[in-house]
Amino acid sequence: MGARIFVTGATGFIGANLVRRLVTEGHQVHAVIRPDSDLWRLRDLLDRITLHWVDLLDSGGLRHVARAVQPEVIFHLAMTGGHPRGALDRIRAVQVGVIGTLALLEAALETGAVRFVHVGSSLEYGRVARAMRESDPLRPVTDKGLAKSLASQLVKFYARKHGVSAVIVRPFSVYGPWESPQRFIPTLLRAAITGEEIRLTPPGYRHDFIFVDDVVEGCLRAASARTRPGEAFNLGTGVQWTNEEVVTLAEEVSGRKIRVIPGAYPPGPADARCWVADIRKACRRLGWLPEWSLAAGLGRTLDWLRSYLNDQAECGPGSYVRP
């Protein structure tokens, strides 16, 4: 029946895609789910995975579940959604990043998990005027980046001090099926389908867009590779694109003109003129290389979105609508 695998953040975008891959490979997937989580990404898998309704901040409940499951591998993806907008959001993000990660590391230590894969973020680096390297100091400039960097420090400490077999992966700008509908690429592709007009940031902001299947593959390779305690790996493509270049490529992929209002969307906390991964270490040490070009990934995401919207139209209103 495969390995016993614990996944936090399983209802999220990357987490749900990871769960789908693990189920396909025949693993026993145990998903840690917050009591208020929306299961829309996992509804067709509920008879093939085991759900555990427990908040990461409930350390006693979390350790109780971990003792019952005795996971061999833990994938830690849980984090608050979006960028914090106020004091309560900031507090919650740091709580999940620090207390939640700490509780999970203690559970891994107690149960003797073979590998702990922590999914961090490129936001941990802050702004760097060149390709970001794993050896760069963590200087986050966003609240979410701060929470993620604190979590990474905990993972490194437990790996080096307490012997938890932990590894860190840092995805860059991930896109693909099941992404939150309000984010850039889903909004863009939906506009190609519906003809709606969208607002675009001012010119020049760049991101390293990586297809979610490549990120999942990187997570799986990190789970089995021989690594140093608490070692980190970037998961990106090494190529950055401006938002307006992505619009042009989406038009080519879809064969539709997309109506945009340039400069009408304010830059977000993670928008920068340079944001790209140095992926040489992951290629060398994990034997990993992204397989999806941006054009191919956009095409695959567009096909999925068309299918999903058709299903929603047939079944009635669903979750995948713009807030």
Q: Write out pLDDT tens, residues 142-163.
A: 999 999 999 999 999 999 999 9
CB-based burial label for 49 (10 Å; 0-12, 13-18, 19+): buried
Let me know how many helices (H) and strands (E) the chain has, helices first.
10, 13
Phi and psi for 49 in degrees, rounded to 5? -130, 165
Position 303 scores a pLDDT of 97
Confidence (pTM): 0.95
Would you list the domain boundaries of the chain? 4-174+209-235, 179-208+239-275+295-315
Position 316 scores a pLDDT of 54
Arithmetic mean of pLDDT, 228-248: 98
Position 58 scores a pLDDT of 95
Arithmetic mean of pLDDT, 169-195: 96
pLDDT band with cut points at 50, 70 and 90 for residue 10: very high
Q: What is the DSSP letter of 272?
A: B
Position 320 scores a pLDDT of 52
Six-digit token pair at 200?
């675009």
Query: How far is C-alpha 308 from the geometric centre of its chain's CA atoms?
Result: 20
Q: What fold is seen in the domain 179-208+239-275+295-315?
A: UDP-galactose 4-epimerase; domain 1 (3.90.25)
Position 199 scores a pLDDT of 95
Q: Is the confidence at residue 250, as pLDDT, over 90?
A: yes
The Cα-based distances of 217 to 2, 91, 179, 275, 315 in angstroms read 17, 32, 17, 22, 32
3-state secondary structure of 158: helix
The Cα–Cα gap between 141 and 124 comes to 8
| The CATH number, out of the four listed (1.10.3210.10, 3.10.580.10, 1.20.140.10, 3.40.50.720), of the domain defined by the range 4-174+209-235 | 3.40.50.720
Position 81 scores a pLDDT of 78
pLDDT band with cut points at 50, 70 and 90 for residue 1: low
The Cα–Cα gap between 227 and 246 comes to 35
The Cα–Cα gap between 120 and 232 comes to 9
The Cα–Cα gap between 11 and 34 comes to 9
Cβ neighbours for 59, distance < 8 A, ≥ 6 positions apart: 99, 102, 103, 106
Residue range 45-103, pLDDT digits in tens: 999 999 999 999 999 999 999 999 999 999 999 988 778 788 998 999 999 999 999 99
Which of the two residues, 252 and 36, has the higher pLDDT score? 252
Q: Is the confidence at residue 318, as pLDDT, over 70?
A: no
Position 321 scores a pLDDT of 45
> Which is nearest to 80 in space by CA: 4, 151, 6, 153?
151
Arithmetic mean of pLDDT, 289-314: 93
Arithmetic mean of pLDDT, 115-133: 97
Position 269 scores a pLDDT of 83
pLDDT band with cut points at 50, 70 and 90 for residue 268: confident
* pLDDT above 70: percentage of residues in the chain: 96
Position 322 scores a pLDDT of 36
Q: Is the confidence at residue 323, as pLDDT, over 70?
A: no
Kindly calculate the radius of gyration of the chain based on its CA atoms and give it in whole angstroms.
Answer: 19
With contact defined as beta carbons under 8 Å apart, do 77 and 14 qualify?
A: yes
